[in-house]
Amino acid sequence: MSSSKSHTIDQGADYPCPCRRRSGQLKPIALTEAFGCNLCQQIFVINEDGCTLEPVSTYYPYRRAWRWTGSDWQVQSSRLGPGATVSLLLVGVVSLSLLILLALAARLGPSGLGMMIGLLAIALIWLVTRRF
């Protein structure tokens, strides 16, 4: 029976891989403060608290972290990576702007619709060519 209390991760010990249910093993990588899995080839680092582990690079917008309980890993709450928050904010602003423009275009009639489409095209070109 495992407890939910966090334990400090020993940088010299081997652990089971948190992302696979198979028999992958995390082994310390020499001269670094990281672990590598012998099955999925993923690299993990220990967070500042010393009790949680997270992958070095991920393709997902949500970063996962695992907490060591002494016998197994428990998933910590996922959090957004820095690139994902900017993307979500940009999508929200563009969506809100589109709704406002469509409401204005519907009120102005056919001549207003053409003007709004032109303004929308200019705004989209500006957003695409802008660098973050």
Task: Classify the phi-psi angles of 125: left when phi > 0, otherwise alpha if psi is within -120 to 50, otherwise beta.
Answer: alpha
Mean pLDDT, the chain, rounded, equals: 76
User: What is the domain partition of the chain in residue ranges?
Assistant: 15-80, 82-129
Residue-wise pLDDT for 73-100, tens only, equals 888 765 555 555 666 777 788 778 777 8
Average pLDDT over residues 11-16: 85
